[in-house]
């Protein structure tokens, strides 16, 4: 911990130089008015919450209200539904996600008034420019790992600002303003904005082919991750998963041995062995450079969850924090919303919600499902984005092996234009390794299929980054 404090002092000038405010961009604090386009998004709402807690005036608009907008309204933000260009008037800064096009009425109004507008990722860079950023990156596992790291370092005595891509019940939401110089944040590689950050420490969970609509090819994606890792000057604060072949090869090629590998493989300096999996928990013994050091236990199922916990543990150790305190914090992790979240029982079946939307995520989550379930395993899957479905078509087709019943909904566009021949119905014709498959294009069709198929003792997993979980909540609300 003392080493981390010294490192922060040494790096302050460099951080300030890299993130000098662009002309017209205000310092985020009291008296500043910020408008968020698409404020209900999980990443945008977290940033808005921290800005509120820093004393800013916050306004925002979104297509519909949700839990995040309600929490922001309760905190003093002005939130409205639909395009609201009038809310932009009087703002000092407008923030938008990469999915918001330049012709959006609120962006056009900001341009007309000469109000600076920046991407969500750029705001994160501005918010953290005077903090020691503990950034978590990777194709999968960012939210879980960030949440685990937050609890671990808090238990070890830090009070970081926290910015997550999901709700963590332990902190009452997806963001929290801390009192010290640290910030735990989930970073966003999807639009390249994580390269605007200057991380004091970085955890990278994996690197796989996703977001190629932005990068063009896997080589460019890997180069972006290389550059992100390279932003961390101290080798002991580059925490990289040794179990991901792409990431490990990238790290060895570009950084030699100047990083900390973690995982279950023999390449891990922080390595999990003697894995113990139960219905409601996962545990392992931890070796540090081959020597027994600790027993790590989390209260959720899934090898992938345990792997994320190893990454958080390794990061805490690299900051000089107490191993016992870190383990205590990790033991307090009971999950985040939409990450293998047990919602309740319906007709004697257990309903679970998970955000998984990439084939590798799906396969890992299905392993956790089999660890948890004591009866039939049913999966409701809503593919996310035409581009991802197209790029990973064959991988999706083979990702559901061993499932007793797969209910396949139509693709959630996430604002993308349809692609010719890219449909869930076509994907259905290629699915293999599943006992039974049902095509249910709409949410209403999904509900009808579940009413026909679900039996007492089943476990039903709702998978996807869209709105498929609305069906689960609807069933639980009705109760019949």
Catalytic residue list: 142-143, 186
Rg (CA), the chain: 22
- DSSP per residue, 270-305: EEEEEEEEETTEEEEEEEETTEEEEEEEESS--HHH
**Nearest residue to 201 (alpha-carbon basis) of 308, 312, 294:** 312
Q: If you search the block for the tokens 């392992």, which residue do you land on?
A: 284
In terms of Cβ atoms closer than 10 Å to its own Cβ (0-12, 13-18, 19+), residue 149 is buried
CB-CB contact of 45 with 58 (8 Å): no
Contacts of 278 (CB under 8 A, 6+ apart): 301, 371
Phi, psi of 183 (to 5 degrees): -145, 125
Question: CB atoms < 10 A from the CB of 21, how many?
Answer: 12
Separation of alpha carbons 100 and 412, rounded Å: 17
Separation of alpha carbons 269 and 420, rounded Å: 47
**Nearest residue to 129 (alpha-carbon basis) of 22, 237, 227:** 22
The separation between CA 5 and the C-alpha centre of its own chain, rounded to angstroms, equals 27
291-298 vs 281-288, strand pairing mode: antiparallel
Beta strands in 361-456 (DSSP E): 377-381, 405-408, 437-439
Return the DSSP state at 154.
H
Question: CB atoms < 10 A from the CB of 183, how many?
Answer: 23
For residue 202, the SS3 value is: strand
Separation of alpha carbons 283 and 265, rounded Å: 16
**Nearest residue to 108 (alpha-carbon basis) of 83, 85, 80:** 85
**Nearest residue to 115 (alpha-carbon basis) of 133, 132, 97, 96:** 96
Separation of alpha carbons 201 and 160, rounded Å: 13
Q: If you search the block for the tokens 């870190």, which residue do you land on?
A: 326
Helix 218-230 with 245-255: angle, nearest 10 deg: 60
């Amino acid at each position: 911990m003392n080493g981390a404090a010294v490192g922060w002092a040494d790096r302050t000038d460099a951080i300030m130089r890299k993130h000098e405010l662009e002309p017209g961009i205000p310092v985020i604090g009291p008296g500043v008015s910020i408008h968020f386009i698409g404020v209900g998004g999980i990443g945008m709402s977290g940033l808005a919450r921290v800005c509120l807690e820093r004393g800013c005036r916050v306004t925002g608009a979104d297509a519909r209200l949700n839990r995040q907008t309600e929490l922001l309204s309760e905190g003093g933000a002005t939130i409205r539904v639909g395009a609201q260009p009038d809310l932009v008037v009087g703002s000092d800064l407008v923030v938008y996600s990469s999915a918001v096009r330049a012709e959006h009425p609120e962006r056009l109004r900001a341009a007309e008034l000469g109000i600076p507008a920046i991407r969500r990722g750029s705001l994160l860079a501005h918010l953290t420019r005077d903090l020691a950023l503990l950034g978590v990156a990777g194709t999968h596992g960012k939210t879980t790992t960030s949440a685990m790291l937050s609890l671990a370092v808090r238990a070890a005595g830090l009070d970081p600002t926290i910015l997550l891509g999901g709700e963590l019940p332990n902190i009452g939401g997806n963001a929290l303003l801390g009192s010290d110089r640290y910030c735990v944040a989930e970073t966003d590689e999807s639009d390249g904005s994580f390269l605007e950050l200057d991380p004091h420490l970085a955890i990278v969970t994996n690197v796989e082919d996703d977001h190629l609509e932005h990068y063009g090819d896997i080589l460019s994606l890997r180069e972006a991750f290389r550059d992100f890792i390279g932003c961390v000057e101290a080798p002991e604060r580059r925490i990289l998963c040794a179990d991901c072949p792409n990431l490990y090869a990238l790290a060895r090629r570009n950084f030699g041995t100047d990083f900390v590998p973690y995982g279950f493989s023999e390449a891990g300096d922080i390595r999990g062995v003697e894995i113990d999996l139960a219905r409601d928990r996962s545990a392992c013994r931890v070796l540090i450079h081959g020597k027994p050091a600790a027993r790590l236990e989390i209260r959720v199922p899934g090898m992938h969850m345990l792997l994320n916990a190893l990454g958080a543990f390794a990061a805490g150790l690299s900051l000089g924090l107490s191993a016992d305190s870190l383990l205590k914090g990790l033991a307090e992790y009971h999950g985040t919303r939409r990450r293998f979240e047990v919602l309740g029982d319906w007709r004697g079946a257990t309903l679970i919600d998970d955000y998984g939307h990439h084939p590798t995520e799906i396969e890992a989550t299905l392993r956790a499902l089999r660890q948890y379930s004591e009866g039939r395993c049913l999966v409701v899957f809503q593919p996310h984005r035409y581009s991802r479905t197209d790029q990973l078509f064959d991988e999706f087709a083979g990702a559901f092996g061993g499932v007793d019943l797969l209910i396949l909904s139509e693709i959630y566009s996430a604002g993308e234009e349809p692609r010719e021949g890219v449909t869930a119905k076509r994907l259905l014709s290629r699915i293999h390794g599943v006992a039974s498959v049902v095509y249910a294009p709409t949410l209403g069709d999904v509900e009808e299929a579940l009413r026909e198929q679900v039996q007492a003792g089943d476990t039903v997993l709702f998978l996807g980054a869209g709105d498929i979980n609305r069906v689960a909540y609807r069933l639980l609300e009705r109760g019949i």
